[in-house]
């Protein structure tokens, strides 16, 4: 076994690897960028090496710096985690050329499966079923459009490199093919440096079911059953589970045998995942699944497999990479119970899942789960950490297991409702709504479920009068939640002739709220609210809430209602953006400008494309008008930057 390894990654996966390595007595070296100097994975590791500025291209994608750090610290092997360099065969070559061990697949295996088109041709030769489509080398638009017509609409354009939904477009009609192809190519080029695509038949009711495989250098390959990853938004996974709901013995046998066959076809060693698309329009059948791609690394959702098989896949990785045989034979690997993983992101689900940034002023995960269930939290952040625009905005993975799917689903819902995060917009309410969705609860899932139910799943009810009153009580400094140093607390309960009262202002979204907080003789607080609430409530103590600079967040189930608390001594300096301008919803790069200064545009017309976190977001006109100013292509903008300004006469 290795004495010391370097982890060429960051965030929760780096922390995950460190925990297993520590348990095995293996010392760890972390690497970090400027933005991650104070990160949790840096704190947890035995040693840490700075490798460059915050952008990934200058730090976590610099294989030369990572190899140099490993050599300088005496590490014997490098664990790549997932993402970044984990599936880069050139990096594997760098590692091995330096006399180090790469804890993952061989460069040859990665190359064999790295490009979707070549991988599918290889799988066809190996007898693994592949989805109908065009996987050739030619990339002329006329040819691709012709192949799309032959396949039959709807079709799916997919980047042949990478994954995560980037460079992917569903096309319903031939007239939309050209624009969809351009968008997919731009996104693929930005994310993977390769704008080539393939075109496949879009399955009407697709299930995304993948099989965890593991091989060693002695020719042994086993599977650890399947995971269902059908709950996706924008082709990115949201909630994963194991085993797949509704799985039949016949389909499981056919799918796992195909997965092992695929791994053996490339002499695979290490952790890998064979991803299949399953046509669920007529139920799960053994002849209705097709190979999509192979991920030659550990998956984000690997914890659900660990929960239901009782294995530590990171430990297996270390053992196999150090030259040992697989820890278990196929006959020794059994399923037990059901597990879910929910990905908690800093994102605004109600605004099309826009990534968010911010400081995690309050971060609290559940301490307990229902009897008979278990839970684990995979995270790389702590209270006070910032969500950086440079990296994926994942905050944590909440993983639960129960004796069956219903028990696990109940534990998931309860755990999400007890999770408290303040300081950034998060998706916990959306995740809880999805877990409670009737179709999802029944196991009737497919990759289009979230899209069909998106409005209902992302809708957040306005705060009740009780929630607003609780926020006002906390903002006033009164009540059990108030800091003892607050002078208002020392006056609580005292008045010569009548109850003392404090006037408090709050802002929720666009609403300004005025509240009058007073203390009653019996120790309760009375909160009187102006319009639109027009109510008076008696409160003895505030519910779950968090106070952070200039704000109060009140938690109700999985929803966190955040109220701004204006400083009464500060001058209200409102800068009206109004309808005269469109501002960047997040930091990003102006990738494409579709309008010009002086041009008259109509409501809904696309004006420019903003690239943020490797995804493209279209900024459209909110009304008819004439453009006075518009951002230039290639401009790097921050959150709130004016992208488009309209001429004043547009509103006259």
Catalytic residues: 297
Rounded CA-CA distance 372/403 in Å is 7
Structure tokens at 236: 């990115």
Q: Closest Cα partner for 287 from 250, 256, 244?
A: 250
Mention every residue, 6+ apart, whose C-beta is less than 8 A from residue 593: 607, 608, 630, 631, 632, 633
Rounded CA-CA distance 112/99 in Å is 23
Q: How many residues does the chain have?
A: 652
Q: What is the DSSP letter of 82?
A: S
Q: What is the DSSP letter of 203?
A: P
Rounded CA-CA distance 321/269 in Å is 8
Q: Check if the beta carbon of residue 551 is closer than 8 Å to that of residue 562.
A: yes
Rounded CA-CA distance 387/54 in Å is 13
Question: Buried b / exposed e across 148-178, counting CB within 10 Å, b at 16+?
Answer: beebeeebbbbbbbbbbbbbbbbbeeeeebe
DSSP per-residue letters across 523-573: S-EEEEE-TTT-EEEEESS--SEEEETTEEEEEETTEEEEEE---TTS---
Which residues make beta-bridge pairs with 551?
Answer: 548, 564
Q: Please give the radius of gyration of the chain, using alpha carbons only, rounded to the nearest integer.
A: 27
Contacts of 439-442 with CB under 8 Å at 24 or more apart are 440/231, 440/239, 441/409
Q: Is 127 helix (H, G, I), strand (E, B) or coil?
A: coil
Structure tokens at 648: 């004043």
Chain centre to alpha carbon of residue 365: 17
The Cβ of residue 441 has, within 10 Å, a number of other Cβ atoms equal to: 17
Structure tokens at 304: 């659900």
């Amino acid at each position: 076994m290795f004495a010391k390894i370097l982890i060429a990654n960051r965030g929760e996966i780096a922390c995950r690897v460190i925990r297993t390595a520590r348990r095995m007595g293996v010392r760890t070296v972390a690497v970090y960028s400027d933005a991650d100097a104070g990160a949790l994975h840096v704190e947890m590791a035995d040693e840490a090496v700075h490798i460059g500025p915050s952008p990934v291209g200058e730090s976590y994608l610099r294989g030369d710096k990572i190899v140099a750090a490993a050599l300088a610290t005496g590490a014997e092997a490098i664990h790549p985690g997932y993402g970044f360099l984990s599936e880069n065969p050139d990096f594997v070559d760098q590692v091995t050329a330096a006399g180090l061990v790469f804890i993952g697949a061989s460069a040859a295996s990665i190359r064999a499966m790295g490009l979707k088109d070549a991988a599918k041709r290889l799988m066809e030769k190996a007898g693994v079923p592949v989805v109908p489509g065009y996987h050739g080398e030619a990339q002329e638009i006329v040819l691709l459009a012709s192949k799309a017509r032959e396949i039959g609409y709807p079709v799916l354009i997919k980047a042949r490199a990478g994954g995560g939904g980037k460079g992917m477009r569903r096309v319903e009609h031939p007239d939309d093919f050209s624009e969809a192809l351009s968008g997919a190519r731009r996104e693929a080029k930005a994310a993977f440096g390769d704008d080539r695509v393939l075109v496949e038949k879009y399955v009407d009711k697709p299930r995304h079911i993948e099989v965890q495989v593991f091989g060693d250098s002695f020719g042994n390959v086993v599977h650890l059953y399947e995971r269902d990853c059908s709950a996706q938004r924008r082709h990115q996974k949201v909630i994963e589970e194991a085993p797949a709901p509704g799985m039949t013995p016949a389909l499981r046998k056919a799918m796992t045998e195909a997965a092992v066959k695929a791994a053996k076809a490339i002499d695979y060693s290490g952790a890998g995942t064979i991803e299949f698309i399953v046509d669920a329009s007529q139920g799960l059948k053994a002849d209705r699944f097709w190979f999509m791609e192979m991920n030659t690394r550990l998956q984000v959702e690997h914890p659900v497999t660990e929960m239901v098989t009782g294995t530590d896949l990171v430990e297996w990785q270390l053992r196999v990479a150090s030259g040992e045989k697989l820890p278990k034979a196929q006959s020794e690997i059994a399923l037990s119970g059901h597990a879910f993983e929910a990905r908690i992101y800093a994102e605004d689900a109600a605004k099309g899942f826009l990534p968010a940034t911010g400081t995690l002023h309050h971060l609290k995960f559940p301490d307990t789960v229902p009897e008979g269930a278990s839970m684990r939290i995979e995270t790389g952040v702590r209270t006070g950490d910032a969500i950086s625009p440079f990296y994926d905005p994942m905050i944590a993975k909440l993983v639960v297991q129960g004796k069956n799917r219903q028990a696990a689903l109940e534990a998931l819902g309860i755990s999400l409702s007890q999770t408290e995060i303040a300081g950034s917009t998060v998706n916990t309410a959306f995740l809880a709504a999805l877990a409670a969705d009737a179709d999802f609860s029944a196991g009737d899932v497919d990759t289009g479920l979230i899209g069909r139910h998106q409005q209902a799943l992302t809708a957040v009810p306005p705060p009740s009068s009780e929630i607003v009153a609780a926020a006002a009580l906390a903002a006033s400094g009164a009540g059990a939640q108030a800091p003892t140093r607050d002078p208002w607390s020392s006056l609580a309960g005292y008045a010569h002739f009548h109850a003392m009262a404090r006037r408090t202002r709050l802002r929720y979204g666009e609403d300004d709220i005025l509240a009058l907080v007073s203390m009653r003789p019996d120790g309760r607080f009375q909160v009187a609210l102006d319009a639109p609430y027009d109510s008076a409530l008696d409160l003895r103590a505030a519910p779950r809430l968090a106070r952070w600079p200039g704000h109060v967040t009140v938690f109700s189930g999985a929803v966190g209602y955040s109220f701004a608390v204006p400083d009464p001594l500060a001058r209200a300096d409102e800068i009206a953006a109004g309808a005269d301008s469109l501002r960047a919803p997040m930091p990003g790069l102006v990738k494409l400008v579709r309008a010009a200064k002086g041009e008259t545009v109509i409501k809904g017309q696309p004006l420019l494309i903003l690239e943020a976190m490797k995804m493209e977001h279209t900024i459209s006109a909110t009304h008819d008008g004439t453009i006075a100013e518009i951002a230039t292509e290639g401009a790097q903008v921050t959150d709130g930057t004016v992208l488009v300004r309209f001429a004043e006469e547009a509103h006259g």
